[in-house]
Amino acid sequence: MIVTMDTNVLLAALISQSGASHQILSLVINETINLALSTQVLLEYDDVLKREKILKLTRLKPEEIENVLDLLALLAQKQNIYYRLRPNLRDEEDNLFVECAFASNTNYLITSNIRDFNSGELKGFGFKVITPKDFYQMWRNSHE
């Protein structure tokens, strides 16, 4: 199973070890599910997670964020993006996750901002947009 994670899922996973986002990150790290990752998505993770306000939230140092991102880059299914998709999403920055999900044949694009993705024209892209909680519940129900 291939997933694409929005930055807010990775951020939530780094803030709290008790939520669905952290469980999903653990599935990726344990190579139970495959994370699709493009250069653009990795750069977005890096930009957001190293902001001063975010570093305070996560209580991590920039070097620790680098280690997390290096591990994700090592484990991920790398995806080159050769074309740009613009499904008229509310937030232009979300398009890079759609591009990665589409190009990698992702099964699920996991995000806490479902509303942002449902506002566009994502019909027929071949992946489902789902919250971390719903994804993890679905995964647990089918694997336990």
- Overall pTM > 0.85: yes
DSSP secondary structure of 23-81 = HHHHHHHTTSSEEEE-HHHHHHHHHHHTSHHHHHHHT--HHHHHHHHHHHHHHSEE---
pLDDT one-digit tens code per residue, 18-71:
999 999 999 999 999 999 999 999 999 999 999 999 999 999 999 999 999 999
For 83, residues 6+ apart whose C-beta sits below 8 A from its C-beta are: 99
- Give pLDDT, residue 90: 65
Alpha-carbon distances, residue 117 vs 11, 16, 94, 106 (angstroms): 18, 24, 8, 15
Task: Report d(CA 33, CA 26) in Å as an integer.
Answer: 9
| Contact predicate 87/98, CB 8 Å | yes
- Give pLDDT, residue 58: 94
pLDDT above 90 as % of the chain: 72
The total number of structural domains that make up the chain: 1
Range of the domain at 114: 2-143
Q: What is the CATH number of the domain that holds 80?
A: 3.40.50.1010
- Give pLDDT, residue 121: 61
